[in-house]
């Protein structure tokens, strides 16, 4: 599938015009990761948005010496968007669970496009929708967990 058609299938970019998609395609880099590769590591500074073109990843969060898988993502999903919005460290580690190819948009390249307010508005609304969906999923998951019984005093 051509990259333009692939981007149109992604919720983040569905409302973008052909001209806007061309501007995005001009800044995209492609990178392949073998299975088991750490693509992003919790605690590091993120500098890009990753869109999975082929393959799959797991998103895991450290809890002491253990890690817990908090999400599995595959073709058409994206990650790293929070690092485009703030300067905080990456909140989870992302590992390729199969040979994975990602389209990568670096923060500094995207910032140039964000000077176009209409472009910025469309992109930021896409991020808001994604983050909202992830928050709802987390809330649902947390509400299904059994509550701990209080310890006797």
What is the pLDDT confidence band of residue 84, given thresholds at 50, 70 and 90? Answer: confident
Q: How confident is the model at residue 109 (pLDDT cuts 50, 70, 90)?
A: very high
Q: How confident is the model at residue 141 (pLDDT cuts 50, 70, 90)?
A: confident
Cβ-contact 77, 49 below 8 angstroms: no
How does pLDDT run across 115-126, given as a tens digit for each residue? 888 888 888 888
Three-class secondary structure of residue 45 per DSSP: strand
Helix (H, G, I), strand (E, B) or coil at 78: strand
Predicted confidence (pLDDT) per residue in 10-43, tens digit: 888 888 889 999 999 999 999 999 999 999 999 9
C-alpha 51 chain-centroid distance? 7
Whether the per-residue pLDDT at 100 is higher than 70: the answer is yes
CATH domain 29-113 topology: Jelly Rolls (2.60.120)
pTM: 0.83
Residue 28's alpha-carbon distances to 56, 97, 104, in angstroms, are 19, 23, 5
C-alpha pair distances (Å), 150 with each of 73, 77, 141, 147, 153: 36, 40, 21, 9, 9
């Amino acid at each position: 599938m051509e990259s333009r058609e692939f981007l149109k299938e992604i919720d983040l970019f569905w409302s973008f015009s052909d001209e806007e998609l061309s501007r995005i395609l001009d800044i995209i880099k492609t990178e392949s990761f073998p299975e088991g590769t750490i693509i992003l590591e919790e605690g590091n500074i993120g500098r890009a948005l990753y869109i999975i073109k082929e393959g799959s990843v797991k998103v895991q969060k450290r809890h002491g010496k253990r890690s817990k898988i908090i999400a599995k993502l595959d073709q058409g999903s994206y990650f790293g968007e929070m690092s485009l919005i703030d300067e905080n460290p990456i909140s989870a580690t992302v590992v390729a669970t199969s040979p994975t190819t990602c389209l990568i948009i670096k923060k500094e390249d995207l910032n140039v496009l964000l000077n176009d307010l209409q472009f910025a508005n469309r992109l930021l609304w896409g991020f808001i929708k994604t983050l909202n969906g992830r928050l709802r999923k987390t809330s649902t998951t947390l509400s299904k967990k059994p509550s701990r019984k209080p310890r006797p005093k």
